[in-house]
Amino acid sequence: MTSDKHARHVAIIMDGNGRWAKRHHLPRAMGHQRGVEAVRKLVRSAGGMGIECLTLYAFSSENWSRPDEEVSDLMNLMRKFIKSDLPEFIANDVRLKIIGDWQGLAPDIVEMLEDALEQTSKGSNTLAVALNYGAQQEIAHAASLAAQSGAITPETIAANLYTADLPPLDLLIRTSGEVRLSNFLLWQAAYAEMSFTDVLWPDFTPDHLQSALDDFARRERRYGGR
């Protein structure tokens, strides 16, 4: 049994953009835009909260089934976010990391991401963004690589996950009142603490994150022990 008071690695399932837009009688695209603004505020605050790595579920491998117009809006928002925020990442010593099959995105987005990864590679705090990501696919891919090395064990699978170079996941947060993992970091979340909130993602603020961190600090992590 251990009592870890500080969350080094926090992951967030950013849910509720569409419901936020509907609640405010706005187009769904506006909900996604406000969601990006919430991301921006959180990234600016995370380092000051002692978070070494913030991992965000931005676009799942299942999201391709959404209407074409919505997918197009999400891709365009991604382009704008990379262009507008890359200088700030560099200035604030943030390392960008992409997890998932992001090479399967549009060629211009892949090129932009490759440039951003290179320019931020020396950052001391990490923003990991899950793009075209699915945890089951990640585990299958890691197991395949582990088999090629000659042994499939928990250790060899973990060493081949997209997150192998990140701190162990401490806290996973999901917004909007949904209580499920939706194929996100299934392996990494094995002993992570969970936090579910009814707050819709565009309304999620650094204060909400700090509240989740404070709650995490009060928990006793047992890792299967007593």
pLDDT tens per residue, range 148-186: 988 999 999 999 999 999 999 999 999 999 999 999 999
- 98, part of any domain: yes
Residue 167 belongs to a domain with what CATH number?
A: 3.40.1180.10
Q: How many CB atoms lie within 10 A of CB 202?
A: 26
Torsion over CA of 197, 6, 53 and 141, rounded to 10 degrees? Answer: -80
The answer to the question of residue 65 being in a domain is yes
**Domain annotation covers residue 223:** no
**In-domain check, residue 26:** yes
Chain segment 61-96, per-residue pLDDT in tens: 999 998 999 999 999 999 999 999 999 999 989 999
* Catalytic hit among 15, 73, 85, 170: 15
Exposed / middle / buried, residue 220 (Cβ in 10 Å: 0-12, 13-18, 19+) = exposed
**How many domains is the chain partitioned into structurally?**
1
pTM value > 0.85: yes
CA 119 to chain centre: 20
Residue 148 lies in a domain: no
* Residue 226 domain-assigned (yes or no): no
Q: Which of 4, 63, 183, 203 is catalytic?
A: 63
151 belongs to a structural domain: no
On whether residue 152 sits in a domain, the answer given is: no
Range of the domain at 23: 9-135+163-218
Based on the residue annotation, tell me whether 63 is a catalytic residue of this protein.
yes
Amino acid identity, position 174 = R
